[in-house]
């Protein structure tokens, strides 16, 4: 049994990952017609989401989704749901690895072939996903702790920088009188979905230990990150400039000027930790997928797991080859809509199960 801080790490990883997976860009698509209201709506819905998930998972300590659902919903529904979320978590990881290789290709080594980068990452990920859940959570802790100073650093720089255009930020706030847009909303809600991994990790972490004040702390931190995610680039690149940038956050970090630091471009430090946390996130996603597969109880030894993994490799490689750099944003918009839908499904299912449990006892 692991301590409650691991839940916070899972949530944190999800938050900081939004930078590399185009959440800000999708929000800026509607920056003049409804992003602000989408963010507000996402904060409210996200708060409810965190609250409900914590309540429900606390009722089923040390159980994964299979153990929660068993005997409470029909067998076919349980299997269907597990297969569905298996595919969902697999696709999450696959899409993220494609985005990650793009970033590495563009910023770190433009001369290395894309596929080489991709295969090196893939080898690392495949090696890691078959490890024990506990050891993966330990790795997560390491990565998150090394990431925190960077986030603080960027924020302190933003608040102390005289070159920030405060007027642009104020101007972006004046565009609040619009209806929320679905794409912006689903992208913003992704910030708060760090708990949905718990369908597997609940087995190792006891949610009962999480108090109300922890939940409120996590929620406030989520709001803070979502707002900085949206407003810091506007301060550096201007309200009309942000929709033009492809990797908004990397341009923003590159724009921060550090006079007295030992490195001139902090972008490389950020990229480094960002790549690490993205890799860990992908590993966690696919690990979730493999663990879900195990719960299906196919009694054929370890063979089937490897069949699934080789299937992963093939499909991801095909996706990697097919997706073009220009279209990647479009796929992410689709993914966020899909993600919001899956999380809605999860909440409905869990609420149903918890009500059923209360009636039974």
Contact 283, 129 (CB under 8 A): yes
Q: Indicate which single residue of 35, 66, 168, 184 sits in contact with another protein (rule: CB under 8 A).
A: 168
In this complex, which beta carbon is closest to another protein, that of residue 202 or of residue 277? 277
Told to check if 131 binds another protein by CB under 8 A, we report no
How many Cα atoms occupy the beta-carbon half-sphere of 24 within 13 Å? 30
238 binds another protein (CB under 8 A): yes
CB of 206 or CB of 251, closer to another protein? 251
Number of residues in contact with another protein, rule: CB under 8 A?
44
x-marked contacts with another protein along 264-293 as a string, rule CB under 8 A: xx------x--xx--x--------------
- What are residue 4's phi and psi, to 5 degrees? -70, -20
In the complex, minimum distance from the CB of residue 108 to another protein, in angstroms, rounded to a whole number:
6
Could you give the C-alpha distances from 89 to 274, 283, 339, in angstroms and in order? 20, 10, 9
Which helix (H) or strand (E) element contains residue 222? helix 212-237
CB of residue 299 to another protein, shortest distance in Å: 35
Stretch binding another protein (CB under 8 A), from 16-24, 167-175, 302-310, 334-342: 167-175
Which of residues 74, 76, 212, 259 is near another protein by CB under 8 A? 259
Among 132, 240, 330, 356, the residue binding another protein under the rule CB under 8 A is: 240
The crossing angle, in degrees rounded to 10, of helices 212-237 and 248-255 is: 70
- Using CB under 8 A, which of the segments 19-27, 49-57, 111-119, 340-348 binds another protein? 111-119
Which stretch in 1-9, 33-41, 238-246, 350-358 sits in contact with another protein by CB under 8 A?
Answer: 238-246
By CB under 8 A, tell whether 108 contacts another protein.
Answer: yes
State yes or no: residue 110 binds another protein (CB under 8 A).
yes
| Residue with smaller CB distance to another protein, 150 or 239 | 239
- Direct distance between the N- and C-terminal alpha carbons of the chain, in angstroms, rounded to an integer: 26
For residue 68, report the phi and psi dihedrals to the nearest 5 degrees: -70, -45
Q: How many residues comprise the chain?
A: 361
Nearest to 28 by CA among 184, 224, 235: 184
Is 174 one of the binding residues for another protein (CB under 8 A)? Answer: yes
Tell me if 304 contacts another protein by CB under 8 A: no
* Binding residue (CB under 8 A) for another protein from 51, 175, 331, 338: 175
**What's the distance, CA 61 to chain centroid?**
24
C-alpha distances out from residue 292 to 10, 74, 136, 151, 222, Å: 18, 18, 16, 33, 27
Other CB atoms within a 10 A radius of the CB of residue 15 amount to 23
Closer of 155 and 255 to another protein (Cβ)? 255
Report d(CA 57, CA 63) in Å as an integer.
Answer: 8
> Does residue 255 interact with another protein by CB under 8 A?
yes
Beta bridge partners of 2: 205
Residue 255: which of 230, 235, 272 has the closest Cα?
Answer: 235
Closer Cβ to another protein, 199 or 282, answer by number: 282
Residues in contact with another protein by the rule CB under 8 A: 104, 106-112, 117, 120-121, 123-124, 162-163, 165, 167-168, 170-171, 174-175, 177, 236-241, 244, 250-251, 254-257, 259-260, 264-265, 272, 275-276, 279
């Amino acid at each position: 049994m692991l301590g409650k801080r691991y839940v916070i790490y899972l949530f944190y990883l999800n938050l900081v990952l939004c930078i590399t997976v185009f959440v800000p860009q999708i929000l800026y698509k509607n920056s003049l017609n409804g992003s602000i209201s989408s963010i507000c709506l996402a904060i409210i819905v996200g708060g409810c989401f965190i609250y409900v998930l914590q309540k429900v998972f606390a009722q089923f300590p040390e159980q994964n989704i299979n153990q929660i659902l068993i005997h409470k919903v029909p067998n076919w529904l349980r299997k269907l749901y597990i297969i569905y979320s298996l595919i969902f978590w697999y696709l999450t990881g696959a899409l993220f690895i494609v985005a990650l290789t793009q970033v590495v290709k563009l910023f770190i080594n433009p001369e290395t072939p894309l596929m080489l980068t991709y295969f090196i990452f893939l080898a690392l990920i495949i090696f890691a996903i078959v490890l024990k859940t506990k050891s993966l959570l330990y790795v997560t802790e390491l990565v998150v702790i090394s990431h925190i100073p960077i986030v603080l650093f960027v924020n302190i720089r933003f608040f102390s920088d005289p070159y920030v255009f405060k007027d642009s930020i104020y101007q972006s706030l004046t565009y609040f009188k619009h209806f929320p847009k679905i794409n912006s909303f689903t992208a913003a809600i992704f910030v708060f979905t760090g708990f949905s991994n718990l369908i597997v990790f609940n087995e190792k972490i006891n949610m009962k230990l999480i108090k109300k004040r922890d939940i409120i702390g996590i929620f406030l931190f989520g709001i803070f990150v979502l707002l900085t995610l949206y407003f810091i680039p506007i301060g550096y690149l201007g309200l009309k400039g942000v929709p033009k940038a492809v990797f908004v956050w990397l341009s923003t970090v590159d724009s921060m000027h550090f006079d007295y630091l030992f490195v001139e471009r902090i972008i490389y430090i950020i990229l480094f930790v960002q790549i690490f946390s993205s890799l860990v996130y992908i590993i966690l996603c696919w690990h979730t997928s493999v663990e879900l597969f195990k719960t299906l109880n196919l009694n054929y030894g370890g063979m089937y797991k490897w069949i699934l993994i080789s299937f992963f490799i093939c499909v991801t490689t095909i996706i990697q080859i097919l997706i073009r750099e220009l279209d990647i944003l479009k796929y992410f918009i689709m993914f966020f809509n899909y993600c919001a839908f899956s999380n809605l499904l999860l909440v409905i299912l869990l609420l149903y199960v918890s009500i059923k449990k209360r009636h039974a006892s």
